[in-house]
A and B are shown apart, each in its own frame.
Chain A
Amino acid sequence: MNRIDEIIAQLSHIASHPAEAIAQHKKETGKGAVGIIYVYAPEEIIHASGYLPVGLWGGQKTISKARAYLVPFACSIMQSVMELECEGAYDDLSAVLFSVPCDTLKCMSQMWKGKAPVITFTHPQNRKIAAANDFLAEEYALVRSKLEKILGTTITDEAIEKSIEVYNENRRTMRDFCDAAAEHPEIIDAVTRHAVIKARFFMEKSKHTALVKELVSELRKQPIKAWKGKKVVLTGIMAEPNGLLELFKTNGLAVVADDLAQESRQFRNDVPAGRTPLYRLAKWWQELDGCSLATNPTKPRGQMLIDLTTEHEADGVVVCMMKFCDPEEFDYPIYYAELQQAGIRNTMIEVDLESKSFEQVSTRLQTFAEVLG
Chain B
Amino acid sequence: MNNEQASSKELLANYQAKLDEEAREAKKNGKLVCWSASVAPPEMCVTMDIAMVYPETHAAGIGARKGAVDMLDVASEKGYSVDNCSYARVNLGYMELLRQYAKTGVKPEKLANSPAADVPLPDLVITCNNICNTLLKWYENIAAELHIPCIVIDVPFNHTMPIPDYSKRYIVKQFEHAITQLEGITGRKFDYDRFLEVQKQTQRSVAQWKRIASFLKYKPSPLNGFDFFNYMALIVCARSRDYAEITFRKFADELEEKVKNGVFAFGDKEKSRVTWEGIAVWPYLSHTFKTLKGAGSLMTGSAYPGMWNLEYTPGDLMTMAEAYTRIYINTCLDNRASELASVAENGKCDGLLLHMNRSCKLMSVLNYQTAEAVKEKLGIPYVSFDGDQTDPGNFAPAQFDTRVQALCEMMKK
Contacts and interface: CB of A to CB of B under 8 A. Distances in A.
A28 B380 CA distance: 53
Contact of B159 (A109, A124, A134): A109
Given A73-B361, A101-B133, A106-B362, 8 more contacts: A71-B364, A134-B169, A135-B156, A295-B137, A329-B81, A330-B88, A331-B137, A333-B79
Given A107-B365, A334-B144, A125 B133 contact: yes
B126 to A, nearest CB: 11
A69 B134 CA distance: 22
Interface in B268-315: none
B169 A110 contact: no
Contacts of A40: none
B168 to A, nearest CB: 10
Given A74-B361, A108-B365, A122-B159, A330 B153 contact: no
A135 B140 contact: no
B332 interface: yes
Contacts of B194: none
Interface residues of A, number: 48
Contacts of B79: 332-333, 336-337
Contacts of B152: 125-126, 295, 297
A126 B166 contact: no
A358 interface: no
Contacts of B139: 297
Interface in A316-358: 324, 326-327, 329-334, 336-337
A104 B164 CA distance: 23
Contacts of A142: 160
B123 to A, nearest CB: 14
A110 B366 contact: yes
Given A109-B159, A122-B159, A326 B85 contact: yes
B57 interface: no
B103 to A, nearest CB: 15
A13 interface: no
A125 B167 CA distance: 12
Nearest to A141: B166
B193 interface: no
B200 to A, nearest CB: 26
A329 B83 contact: yes
12 contacts: A100-B157, A110-B159, A110-B336, A120-B159, A126-B154, A126-B174, A295-B152, A295-B154, A299-B141, A326-B81, A327-B133, A331-B137
B173 to A, nearest CB: 4
A298 interface: yes
A28 B330 CA distance: 42
Interface string A288-323: 000010011111000000000000000000000000
B366 A131 contact: no
Interface residues of B, number: 49
A187 interface: no
B361 A107 contact: yes
Interface of A: 69-71, 73-74, 100-104, 106-111, 120-126, 129, 131-132, 134-135, 138-139, 142, 292, 295-299, 324, 326-327, 329-334, 336-337
Contact of A138 (B138, B166, B336, B365): B166
A134 B362 CA distance: 26
Nearest to B172: A131
Contact of A326 (B167, B170, B333, B361): B361
Contacts of A73: 83, 358, 361, 364
A129 B174 contact: yes
Given A71-B365, A111-B369, A297-B144, A330 B157 contact: no
B80 A299 contact: no
Contacts of B159: 100, 109-110, 120-122
Please name the 10 residue pairs, one residue from A and one from B, whose CB atoms are nearest each other, closest first: A131-B173, A333-B79, A107-B365, A330-B137, A297-B150, A120-B159, A135-B170, A110-B333, A122-B156, A126-B154
B143 interface: yes
Given A71-B356, A131-B174, A103 B366 contact: no
A324 to B, nearest CB: 5
A134 B172 CA distance: 13
Nearest to B132: A103
B359 to A, nearest CB: 9
B170 A124 contact: yes
B390 interface: no
